[in-house]
A and B are shown apart, each in its own frame.
Chain A
Amino acid sequence: MEFDIVTPTTKSELLKAIKTNKNNFRFGAGYTDLILELKKKNVLNVTVINLAQLNDKKFNSIERNLKFIRIGALVTASSIVNDKFIEKNFPVLQQAANNLASAQIRQVATIGGNICTASPSGDIACALVALKAKCELLSSTGKTRTVSILEFFLGPRKTAMKKDEILSSVLISLNEKNINIHSGFIKVGTRRSMECSVVSLAYHIQSDKKNLITNVGIAIGSVAPTIRFAENACGFLIGKKASSLARGEKEEFAEKVLKYASPISDIRATAWYRKEALFNICKSILEN
């Protein structure tokens, strides 16, 4: 592993760095994925564009207006964990960030890195899929386009990002007014920290005053080549009463989620286990 490093501190320096290094560069944010990858593949002669000192509000901060909350790509997992607004309104995201690796890694691991690594087991990414977030991509020309995260992941380590684009931030629509939320993140693995999930489930369910479900996001991780949004399972719940689902309905919901899972067996778990556990935890989120 050998690389050159450039460290832009402003957006214009960043765009210049992207242009000058053409296709032969990698972004580095918290480096908790990148270094391992470069080492494993023994990558030589690549330039790393180091984002760690980039000073740009869009990249660095969590801000919100009446419609959405914007989280900069360089925001760390621990900043998400500690954000009170996120904790209150998007428990799924807070819990996912809190489940990532360990306290030490959360201090440096960024949300942008988690998304752009495009791992099927990415915790924050899974929560963002359940939240139907939008990715803001900045190109070297200075233009920004927005892509739904539901269309962002094309395969393991493959995204809809172009070669000269960088993820600047993600947008999450605020919850509807006067609703109840049932939102959380379940990660199945052996250890309580430093664990890569064997199965994960992100759910964000909004219901109105009458307890009728109005908006649902369900995403699953580690059971398919990419994180999957379980659209049919979401649709199934719309209009139902959250607190009084029949046992059969809960199982039907779990079955619908399971349709999106095509797990493999590896040394961490068999496909059988992943499906079984996924089915059970899907049920569990509707249990009372």
Chain B
Amino acid sequence: MSKKLNVIGTPIPKIDAGIRITGKAVYGQDVKLPGMLHGAILRAEYPCAEFTIDVSAARKLPGVIAVITADDIDCNNISYKKDHPILKKGEVNCIRDEIAAVAAESKEIAERAIKLIKVKYKEKKGIYDPFDALKPNAPLVNKYLKDSKFAKNISDIFFYEHGNLEEQKKKSAVIISKRFVLPRVTHCCMATSNITADYSSVTKRLTLYSSTQVPFLYQRDMAHALKMNASDIRVIQVVIGGGFGSKLDMYPFEPIAAILSIKTGKPVQIIFDREEEFIASPTRQNMVIDLIAGADKNGKFTFRDVTIVKDNGAFTSWGATTPFVMMQTFSSLYQMPACRFESKAVYTNNISAGSFRGYGNPQAAFAIESCIDLMADKLGMDKAEIRLLNANYAGEITGQGMHYDTCGHIEALKTVIEKSDLRNTNKETLRNTNKYESTNKEKETVNTDSYIRKNPYFVDNVDRYKRGVGIASMMHVGGGAKIYRSDGCGTTLKLDDYGHLTLITGSSEIGQGSETVLAMMASEELTIPMNKIKVINTDTDVKPWDVGVHASRTSFVAGNSVLGAVKKLKEKLNQKAAVLLKCTIENLIYENEEIKNSDGSNSVRIEKVVREMHFGGQNELCTVNHFYEPTSDFQDKQFKGNVSGTYAFAAQSAEVEVDTYTGNIKVLNIHVAQDVGKVLNPLNIMGQIEGGVLTGVGYGISEELIMENGRVLNPNFHNYKMLTASDVPDIHFYPIETNDSLGPYGAKGMAEAPLIPTAAAIANAVADAIGVRIYSLPITPEKVLKAIKEKTD
């Protein structure tokens, strides 16, 4: 792009910032409709049991308008594999299971009614370990999965391979074989799950005020569940208080609210409390990864052989397709001559996993990057060197058929290597971080950084704190991902008689700032200032189709859609402007809301052009539609093909300090170098980087939803260790602009990326610091202390 940009690349605050910070934004929790009822759900008391239910007492409670159980509804099963009944009948298979629901005049009455429901359980022995579920004598967990091609208790299998594994094994001078265990973590959206359903018995239409990330797929799924016509369902997205992948699926509470509204003829709202949110909203896929990886004597990678068992929980969500993304990382992050990948999603009586920002790649990165450090150690190679030697490069076509037309991997690696001083010869200085000098050792180097230990009288033991540095990379789709039948996005532009633009986009805003960036693109092209651009993006009755917010696709796909629409709009304007300016339509210039002829001698205001079109005999409105479909391909049955319009790359380095007395890890610095194609808005991008990194740090060192025999033991922020503002490390961001030819202004998708390599980099840094490696996340103080103990004993 040689054109000088005036808006793109400048730090414009999010256009919804004002309403959000002043409390004016209408979240699902704020929706209040006339006559609205409050819904509540009764969930299973046991993770695996048969039951009988008696709701008569609840029905009699004054203020209760409806009580439903499986017997009262006629619905299709929901979920990605249609293996999930909305209300469970006769048996429950996880602690989240919905067995009855109530609509009442107040929340309190609804809750009281729930307590009046009598349920008799006959507890059964459940299966809580996917490896147990794979045993031949294991009972069948999910009986709803139809036409399964797979063995018992397997919801899905992904198999992929390229290259000649055996040959590559022979070439290998080092082969590492390790098992990695990844935890169940959850999104912790600040707004808990919510829905307000409003069915009109007059029009027979259903309006849903929902936080979905995928309104059109949601509309379709809801229609299927309720046996309705999709067009009779209108989805209005409220301001969404956090998505991160959690709202990619429709969950039972949503059709339950709809059914209650249909039954009562009144709006019904269901809002989770925090405990319910922890128990009944999805988690990241927890899994066990067995990775065998090799390198030749020069450090060139030879192969990866991966076997994954994922705990699917009792039902299957979109999250079951994470291997689709993970396999790309195993097959194509760093140059990879051969790869075999197999994953199984296995049913258990645990709560089911869903989708989560990064979509399997944080897990993959942890396994891959740990193995790289192990290989480097065995080969006696530098950890930076081995990565640079194998880094992806522009022009590479990977074994899986992905085309890396632009690729900032090498530059990203070089940047973090340089910034984090990985090869610092003063590594010992780094490690001895006492602010105060030791009295009993010869003068230690004093680190002048700001990490001061406050202990004015006694000085800490110099060996207590150990520092380490670790690096990790990532590759992720950066131009959408062709998974659904269309990966496109529609845009409608409406330029009014006053020169203000209404931008109606199919894409959704879930806090990431996409509506701001889309408005910036229109502003850049039309020179209409930001305050004259309105973005409409919340109503399926109004907005054109889009597949949804996921795969870091919105700026790329919706952005290209806006640019396509702007082009059409300009063609319309140009025609009229040329008449008004009495010149040819070639080379018209847009500047300060005006259209000028090529030498700038004559100009007309855009709004005037619109009015001339509207009122000046032509009688035409300045409105256009455009649908953009990325040029990516569907992969073939072997999962080969160029699945995304472009690919994003990043490297991160983590600098940590480990307290060997308590096992606490302090993450000091995270350096992020990321190929974002082009920075569209530096403020937005920094928001994504910081948020992503912090989620990654939590994944690395603190977060885990702990389960025992199907029950969640820490359904609260007290014991679920989501990090706080005071845990935020210094995050340093170095954007790498590779100017992708397909991206809007050269941009690539960038939003999932920042959390993908963080935990992996931290794990490597901890191993570097303490000299022992930990193979499961999160790396808790207890695991660290135990590892140190085992090493010294």
Interface residues of A (CB under 8 A from B): 102, 180-182, 184, 188, 190-194, 196, 198, 242-243, 267-270, 273, 276-277, 280-281, 283-288
Would you call B662 and A194 a contact (CB within 8 A)?
no
Would you call A182 and B662 a contact (CB within 8 A)?
no
Name which residue of chain B comes closest to A277, CB basis. B662
**Size of the chain B interface, CB-CB below 8 angstroms:** 35
Would you call B782 and A269 a contact (CB within 8 A)?
yes
User: Chain B nearest CB: distance from A188 CB in Å?
Assistant: 5
Which residues in window 701-727 of B have CB below 8 A to A?
701-702, 706, 713-714, 717-719, 721, 723-727
C-beta contact mask, B452-469 vs A, less than 8 Å → 1, else 0? 001101111100100000
Which residues of chain B come closer than 8 Å to A286, judged between CB atoms? 458
| Given A280-B662, A288-B439, CB of A191 within 8 Å of CB of B461 | no
Determine which of A180, A191, A242, A283 lies in contact with B721 in the assembled complex, contact meaning CB atoms within 8 Å.
A191
Give how many A-B residue pairs fall within 8 Å (CB-CB). 78
Which residues in window 650-688 of B have CB below 8 A to A?
661-664
Determine which of A182, A191, A280, A288 lies in contact with B661 in the assembled complex, contact meaning CB atoms within 8 Å.
A280
Determine which of B440, B725, B789 lies in contact with A288 in the assembled complex, contact meaning CB atoms within 8 Å.
B440
Which residues of chain A come closer than 8 Å to B718, judged between CB atoms? 196
Name which residue of chain A comes closest to B713, CB basis. A267
A-B pairs, top 8 by smallest CB distance, nearest first, are: A280-B661, A182-B457, A193-B726, A192-B726, A273-B782, A287-B461, A190-B721, A190-B702
Would you call B460 and A284 a contact (CB within 8 A)?
yes
Determine which of A102, A277, A283 lies in contact with B785 in the assembled complex, contact meaning CB atoms within 8 Å.
A277
Would you call A184 and B455 a contact (CB within 8 A)?
yes
Q: Does B781 contact A (CB under 8 A)?
A: yes
A268–B663 CA distance with the chains assembled, in angstroms: 14
Q: Does B780 contact A (CB under 8 A)?
A: yes
Which residues of chain A come closer than 8 Å to B662, judged between CB atoms? 188, 277, 280-281
| Given A277-B662, A284-B661, CB of A267 within 8 Å of CB of B719 | yes
Which residues of chain B come closer than 8 Å to A268, judged between CB atoms? 719
Would you call B781 and A188 a contact (CB within 8 A)?
yes
A77–B439 CA distance with the chains assembled, in angstroms: 36
30 contacts between A and B (CB under 8 A): A102-B724, A102-B726, A184-B455, A190-B701, A190-B702, A190-B721, A190-B780, A193-B726, A198-B781, A242-B457, A243-B458, A267-B706, A267-B714, A267-B719, A268-B719, A269-B781, A269-B782, A273-B663, A276-B789, A277-B662, A277-B781, A280-B661, A280-B662, A281-B661, A284-B461, A284-B464, A284-B661, A287-B459, A288-B439, A288-B459
Which residues in window 740-793 of B have CB below 8 A to A?
780-782, 785-786, 789
Would you call A180 and B457 a contact (CB within 8 A)?
yes
Would you call A193 and B781 a contact (CB within 8 A)?
no
User: Chain A nearest CB: distance from B107 CB in Å?
Assistant: 13
Would you call A277 and B458 a contact (CB within 8 A)?
no
Which residues of chain B come closer than 8 Å to A288, judged between CB atoms? 438-440, 458-459
Would you call B661 and A277 a contact (CB within 8 A)?
yes
Determine which of B454, B702, B706 lies in contact with A191 in the assembled complex, contact meaning CB atoms within 8 Å.
B702
A196–B717 CA distance with the chains assembled, in angstroms: 11
Would you call B726 and A287 a contact (CB within 8 A)?
no
A283–B702 CA distance with the chains assembled, in angstroms: 26
Name which residue of chain B comes closest to A188, CB basis. B662
Name which residue of chain B comes closest to A194, CB basis. B724
A286–B725 CA distance with the chains assembled, in angstroms: 31
Which residues of chain B come closer than 8 Å to A281, judged between CB atoms? 661-662
Name which residue of chain A comes closest to B108, CB basis. A2
10 new A-B pairs (CB below 8 Å) besides A102-B726, A276-B785, A283-B661?
Answer: A181-B457, A190-B664, A192-B724, A193-B726, A198-B781, A242-B458, A243-B458, A281-B661, A284-B461, A285-B458
Would you call A193 and B661 a contact (CB within 8 A)?
no
Which residues of chain B come closer than 8 Å to A194, judged between CB atoms? 717, 724
Determine which of A102, A188, A276, A285 lies in contact with B664 in the assembled complex, contact meaning CB atoms within 8 Å.
A188
Which residues of chain A come closer than 8 Å to B781, judged between CB atoms? 188, 190, 198, 269, 273, 277
Would you call A191 and B724 a contact (CB within 8 A)?
yes
Name which residue of chain B comes closest to A102, CB basis. B724
A190–B778 CA distance with the chains assembled, in angstroms: 11
Name which residue of chain A comes closest to B661, CB basis. A280
